[in-house]
Amino acid sequence: MGQSADVNSGQNGRAEDSSQAPAVPNAAPNSIMAIQDFLTWLRDEKQSSSHTVSAYSRDLTAFFKFLIEHLGKLADVEDLAALRPGDFRSFLAHRRNDGLSNSSVARALSVLRSFFRHLERTGQVTNTAIRSVHSPKLPHSVPKPLGVEAAAAAREQIAFLHEEQWVNARDYAVLTLLYGCGLRISEALGLNHADIGSGASMIIRGKGNKERMVPVLPVVREAIESYVALCPFGMERDDPLFVGVRGKRLNAGIIQKSMREVRRALGLPETATPHALRHSFATHLLSAGGDLRTIQELLGHASLSTTQRYTEVETSHLLDVYRSAHPRARR
């Protein structure tokens, strides 16, 4: 296969493109100022990623668009202060009717809560009605990692998808980094050449610009060095490490597309995504005796409860082994 998909996928900048300001919802002037203040606070004070800021902006845009129909006018801050629980519930029902899943509806409510907390904290609007609105129940989700052999096969397969050798080396290096260091795809593609260094570890900037140190296994460093040696574009310290065919920072969609081709070739389930390799990193560490606190630090989880989900994966695996191997269980 060629690399034409890389060209046609809008490869035009950073994986998280901070050059484009998020869209501001259609609202009354004083509400627009409040929204801009909130988004600026997210970016500058809370140090949220541009991806997060854009996602918040999209949910607020949907909310204020709903208010135009719901109130019959552009919503101003006085309207925001007067909203009642039923108004918020109507918005959530509207989003559900738009086809959003419960998790997306819950995220929209979380964005609104954060927005109204900011309005109250900054003395712009006080509205306690949103506090009485309950989030939709979400199904309990368990990470879906790949097995050790499947993770290895995916990395090997992705190294033979394209005609250009350097592109194959790039994609192999990305997957090796995700699986070998447990990075999020945005963290891997956000790396610059200087971030890799030459030591046994590197500093990763995760969610909220929080930094953590992760070890770099020899196989990971070898994969990256092989890619760098083949890459036809310059590698100054501040240049992006992973680039597309135009030399711009690689877009996550390119790796996701390649992973879909890997799934088809190997017969892997749809859950075999780039992010599944991060799940695999954690699950395989846990299986090998890694402790939860260390895995939490390596993954950059703010809460240990997030990391504890991987114990459920391990328990499920043990039960499957028990059922298939125990003489009494097989009766």
The DSSP line for 39-72 is HHIIIIIS---HHHHHHHHHHHHHHHHHHHHHHS
**Which residue of the set 221, 278, 279, 284 is catalytic?**
278
Active site residue 70: no
- The tokens for 89 are 């519930």
* Calpha distance 227→224 (Å, rounded): 5
Task: Kindly name the residue from 207, 248, 260, 263 that is annotated as catalytic.
Answer: 207
> Is 14 a residue of the active site?
no
Structure tokens belonging to residue 61: 């845009």
Choice among 275, 309, 326, 330 that is catalytic: 275
- Cα–Cα distance, 316 to 97 (Å, whole number): 35
Q: Does residue 278 have an active-site annotation?
A: yes
193 is catalytic: no
Of 162, 184, 193, 279, catalytic:
184
Query: Which entry of 170, 221, 249, 301 is annotated as an active-site residue?
Result: 301
**Amino acid at position 328, single letter:** R
Which secondary-structure segment (H or E) carries 140?
Answer: none
Structure tokens at 29: 């002037």
- Is the CB of residue 105 less than 8 Å from the CB of residue 96? yes
Q: To the nearest 10°, the Cα dihedral for 60, 61, 66, 70? A: 80
Catalytic residue, chosen from 56, 172, 227, 310, is 310
CB 154 within 8 A of CB 277: yes
Catalytically active residues, by annotation: 184, 207, 275, 278, 301, 310
